[in-house]
A = this chain, B = another copy of it.
């Protein structure tokens, strides 16, 4: 991993093949494993290792343990000229996610916009993978999901929301998309685990709390993350996490975060978790028109990339860091941690 030690580098194609094989061995249908592999490879390529191929072992486990349906029958119902609802039949969230984007694009081509909800699903992986899928086809695409409780409310003393991501991607002519894929906590839970394994290396201030909700920096005392904005402005991060929950769970009839079975802490590995996701797909040609949009997004990105920089800082447009990592990893191979290397047989 980017932060870790003892990694090996594996070429993209080899890694992709091993991931697909592992999921096939766990019983996943060809549709399901293609979708999950695609989403994990996106995350591993752009450097979001927490949602990359290291999850292959987790997905294999839940495919075998009954939590996730290896061969789901996805049901898609259009609910209006601009809206659709998908029942994921408790399959891998990636399959439902990509189906939602395909459905959204079909609808947005006609209506100009599409809103697609998903219920009876499981872990979505990196929300940015689905935003990217829409942007790669020329559509501004928003993706979100709720997840199990790891983040306190503002002034709260218990995990409540998931790290609920918000992702938006927008197409740029002759360039890779503008891409924002952010958790609504400041840091991911993995960071806590990593800092514990580094002998209790202190976390930054204002990102995590102990069991009473008091801010702590010792990773061994951490029982929950704080929402983005920390002790002063965390009501904003908590509100954004709520946007994910409202759209993904409340609107779709899925399980709200504080009632959701833990993704990876057990003890229940056999009950479906009933996650929800939500997607919005927008045709950039329907407002000022495609030519105006194309010219303006390039102008906007140029303005960002040419903006004055603070001493020692580097201004980047959303996505630029990811594309730089992707270029490097395409050349040098994708780093994988020892546990994942072992699981995939490298």
Contacts and interface: CB of A to CB of B under 8 A. Distances in A.
Contacts of A140: 246-247, 251
Given A113-B82, A113-B83, A309 B246 contact: no
Contacts of A81: 81-82, 110-112
A287 B108 CA distance: 17
Contacts of A251: 140, 282, 284, 287-288, 293
A252 interface: yes
B112 A313 contact: no
A292 interface: yes
A98 interface: no
Quick one: copies of this chain in the complex? Answer: 2
A309 B156 contact: yes
A304 to B, nearest CB: 6
B253 A296 contact: yes
A304 B153 contact: yes
Give chain A's interface residue range (CB within 8 Å of chain B). Answer: 35 or more
What DSSP secondary structure best describes chain A's contact surface? mixed
A256 interface: yes
A240 to B, nearest CB: 8
Given A284-B251, A288-B252, A243 B168 contact: yes
Given A239-B182, A242-B318, A256-B303, A112 B287 contact: no
A172 to B, nearest CB: 10
B113 A180 contact: no
A289 interface: yes
Interface string A295-314: 01101100110011111011
A254 B170 CA distance: 17
A92 interface: no
Contacts of A240: 180, 182, 240
Nearest to A81: B81
15 contacts: A80-B110, A83-B112, A140-B247, A155-B316, A157-B308, A157-B310, A157-B313, A158-B307, A168-B243, A213-B311, A246-B297, A249-B296, A251-B282, A252-B287, A253-B296
Given A81-B111, A115-B282, 13 more contacts: A80-B111, A83-B287, A111-B111, A113-B280, A119-B287, A153-B304, A153-B315, A154-B313, A204-B232, A242-B318, A250-B296, A259-B303, A280-B280
